[in-house]
Amino acid sequence: MDYEATLARLAAIGQEHLLDYYEELSPDGRTALLDDVERTDFSVLSSIGSEGDRTVGELTPADMLGLKEIEKRRGEFEKIGLKAIREGKIAAVLLAGGQGSRLGWDGPKGTFDIGVSRELPIFACQMENVKEVAKKAGYNFRVFIMTSSINDAATRDFFARHGYFGYDKDKISFFVQDMTPACDFSGKVLLSEKYAPALVPNGNGGWYVSLVKGGYKEILDKEGIEWLNVYGVDNVLQKICDPVFVGATLSAGVNCSGKVVAKACPEEKVGVLCKEDGAPTVIEYTELKDEQRYARDEEGNLLFGAGVILNYIFSVKKLDEIGGEKLPYHIARKKVSYIKEGKKVVPDEPNAYKFELLAVDLVKLMGNCLGFEVVREREFAPVKNATGVDSVDTARELLKANGVKL
């Protein structure tokens, strides 16, 4: 698209300021800017103002397998899970396209070194678990890693430099997620450079669409991969393709399952797996009314206490069935560097809206979802912040408590 046509397109949606520096750009810079604008989907901006509009339906607790029941049936589940892994029916999908802005680490979050006296990147923690499970099952299952165009090269390079952490290199594949524009609070898209609109990863909900776009559907079909275990990069106690979890999911005849931990307290700010008007959902902590937040069952457990930890198993068949369904964009306030009066500004506080698709919205479309309870201290050590709650310090303590040498 040429300059005039691009200007007209942008003017029609009130974004013509993106060409403010066009005149001072080199020919390459001009081409890059026009190309970026052409590729950008500005329609996401229309979701501004729609947040908070949602009316929450009737909430009921999730279908759950609690700790006691799991303990009783552990042997049976594990056997089924190990068999499925050995037969190549399940693969792992690591969501690693986020920017980890709260951690403030300049690089892919998985490259953050959580070690103290030795090097222990987050990726290594997780790959240790992958190797353990693969060894037990006697089969190296596939690991698909979602990156973004911002961290893709650095992530691939890190895996290569670390010898794929001793795993079968041919079983690790990378795919890149989509990007969306970030805008200021008045809806104007930011420039990250004079020649580039600020494009940021579009959230973790588009992972299946991006996996297919990346060309991996063929592998799923050819190898008979029927299940995908999707997990976040920022939990250093993450258990990947946990055979007991896999076995429980397959035995339950569901389309989807999610690991959950009992909420530490009613006020804990964590999404809760439950049902809304009979369909599975992950409700945000802000969406629970007080009477729901504090409600308890006969045993004294919170009725809505199944806190999600971003570890789900999805049926590939069901994902294909719902393929065409669009997920809603959620708006998050984040820090995004931008150009102002010709100079780069690195904000200290959130200054921009990001538009994100969320993996939890896929759960809603799966028809059913089994909650699988795990012990928080053994499986949930999130690294979200540099200090304080869910931080490097708290994750290190939890790793130590689980016998990991730091």
Question: In the numeric block, which tokens belong to residue 198?
Answer: 């600020």
Q: Which stretch binds ligand UTP (CB under 6 A): 8-16, 62-70, 74-82, 92-100?
A: 92-100
Decide: is 233 part of the binding site for ligand UTP (CB under 6 A).
yes
Q: What is the spatial distance between Cα 193 and Cα 325, in angstroms, rounded to a whole number?
A: 34
Name the residue with the smallest CB distance to ligand UTP.
Answer: 98
Shortest distance (Å) from residue 148 CB to ligand UTP: 6
Residue placing its CB nearer to ligand UTP in the complex, 147 or 249: 147
Q: How far is CA 215 from the centre of its chain?
A: 20
**According to CB under 6 A, which one of 232, 243, 307, 371 is a site residue for ligand UTP?**
232
Total of chain residues touching ligand UTP, rule CB under 6 A: 22
Q: How distant, in Å, are the alpha carbons of 57, 208, 315, 369 from that of 322?
A: 22, 11, 11, 15
Residue placing its CB nearer to ligand UTP in the complex, 136 or 334: 334
Q: What is the spatial distance between Cα 296 and Cα 292, in angstroms, rounded to a whole number?
A: 9
Shortest distance (Å) from residue 102 CB to ligand UTP: 3
The dihedral built from the CA positions of residue 394, 395, 401 and 405, taken in this order, carries a sign that is negative
Among residue numbers 329 through 368, which ones bind ligand UTP (CB under 6 A)?
Answer: 334
**According to CB under 6 A, which one of 61, 201, 305, 371 is a site residue for ligand UTP?**
201
The radius of gyration computed from the CA coordinates of the chain, to the nearest angstrom, equals 22
Decide: is 61 part of the binding site for ligand UTP (CB under 6 A).
no
Question: In the numeric block, which tokens belong to residue 53?
Answer: 């509009």
Decide: is 308 part of the binding site for ligand UTP (CB under 6 A).
no
- Closest C-alpha among 176, 16, 214 to residue 95: 176
- Determine the 3-state secondary structure of 87 from DSSP: coil
Decide: is 102 part of the binding site for ligand UTP (CB under 6 A).
yes
389 and 277 Cβ atoms separated by less than 8 Å: no
Shortest distance (Å) from residue 130 CB to ligand UTP: 15
Decide: is 100 part of the binding site for ligand UTP (CB under 6 A).
yes
Q: What is the spatial distance between Cα 120 and Cα 111, in angstroms, rounded to a whole number?
A: 9
Residue placing its CB nearer to ligand UTP in the complex, 99 or 257: 99
Q: What is the spatial distance between Cα 98 and Cα 146, in angstroms, rounded to a whole number?
A: 9
Shortest distance (Å) from residue 90 CB to ligand UTP: 19
Shortest distance (Å) from residue 181 CB to ligand UTP: 13
- The residue count of the chain comes to 406
Backbone angles phi, psi at 147, to 5 degrees: -120, 180
**According to CB under 6 A, which one of 10, 19, 44, 146 is a site residue for ligand UTP?**
146
- Interface residues with ligand UTP (CB under 6 A) are 95-103, 109, 146, 177, 201-204, 232-234, 310, 334, 384
